[in-house]
């Protein structure tokens, strides 16, 4: 019989593999492509876009703490950096110092951002490798103060990667076919 921990390990590994495939060969032009006006993206701190930003270095990611509905459209850059940041934050709060915030040192190009995302997988994979089913109900802190069972933390990370990975895949399809979309 397959254990719950085994299922989470397999699902996380599959979501990582999919992201590797979806982001393979992406360049900066496509990574930062804004298919509609008003996109949220990753950009140099010096570039004011009229929204709040997170990031501690030269590059920042757009966000709005009021969480507008609907949320603005986001670029591949935004989605990639967001997934990596979420991975790092959830891991830090559940298994490390519980000290990170979204003011992370963000990458400023496609190659660095995809490397950063893929590196964010390793500490989570390591944490999953040591888990047994009895651990899955253990409560761990989140970056916003709630305490969640570990199974919920890992399931959320899988969902984030699958959700944003599918969006990135669609955006890459649209980017490749943008000339035919115009008419």
User: Residue 28: phi, psi to the nearest 5?
Assistant: -60, -40
Neighbour-count burial for 23-49, b at 16+ CB within 10 Å, e otherwise? beebeeebbbbeeeeebbbbbeeeeee
The answer to whether 148 and 140 are in contact (CB under 8 A) is: yes
pLDDT over 70 (residue 92): yes
Average model confidence (pLDDT) for the chain? 95
Nearest to 18 by CA among 118, 92, 125: 118
Q: Does residue 61 fall inside a structural domain?
A: no
pLDDT over 70 (residue 115): yes
Domain extent at residue 29: 4-36+75-99+107-178
Neighbours of 63 (CB within 10 A): 18
Structural domains in the chain (count): 1
Q: How far is CA 178 from CA 111, 164, 165, 173, 181, in A?
A: 23, 20, 19, 8, 5
Q: What is the CATH number of the domain that holds 15?
A: 1.20.120.450
pLDDT over 90 (residue 2): no
pLDDT of res. 183: 60
Q: What is the rounded distance in angstroms from the CA atom of residue 37 to the CA atom of residue 48?
A: 15
pLDDT of res. 48: 84
User: Percent of the chain having pLDDT more than 90?
Assistant: 88
pTM tops 0.75: yes
pLDDT over 80 (residue 182): no
Q: Does residue 8 fall inside a structural domain?
A: yes
Q: Does residue 126 fall inside a structural domain?
A: yes
Say which residues have a Cβ less than 8 Å from residue 62's Cβ, sequence separation at least 6: 40, 41, 42, 43, 49, 51, 52, 53, 72, 74, 78
Neighbours of 137 (CB within 10 A): 11
Query: Using 50, 70 and 90 to split pLDDT, how confident is the model at 116?
Result: very high
Q: Does residue 118 fall inside a structural domain?
A: yes
Query: Using 50, 70 and 90 to split pLDDT, how confident is the model at 179?
Result: confident
pLDDT of res. 153: 97
């Amino acid at each position: 019989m397959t254990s719950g921990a085994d299922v989470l390990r397999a699902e996380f590994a599959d979501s990582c593999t999919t992201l590797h495939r979806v982001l393979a060969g992406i360049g900066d032009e496509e990574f930062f492509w804004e298919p509609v006006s008003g996109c949220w993206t990753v950009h140099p701190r010096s570039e004011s876009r009229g929204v709040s930003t997170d990031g501690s270095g030269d590059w920042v990611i757009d966000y709005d703490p009021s969480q507008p509905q609907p949320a603005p459209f986001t670029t591949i850059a935004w989605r990639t950096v967001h997934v990596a940041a979420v991975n790092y934050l959830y891991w830090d709060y559940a298994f490390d110092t519980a000290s990170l915030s979204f003011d992370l040192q963000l990458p400023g190009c496609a190659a660095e951002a995809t490397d950063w995302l893929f590196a964010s997988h390793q500490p989570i994979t390591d944490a999953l490798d040591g888990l047994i089913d009895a651990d899955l109900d253990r409560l761990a802190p989140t970056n916003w103060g709630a305490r969640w069972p570990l199974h919920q933390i890992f399931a959320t990370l899988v969902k984030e990667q699958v959700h944003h990975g599918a969006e990135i895949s669609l955006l890459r399809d649209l980017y490749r076919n943008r000339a035919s979309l115009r008419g």
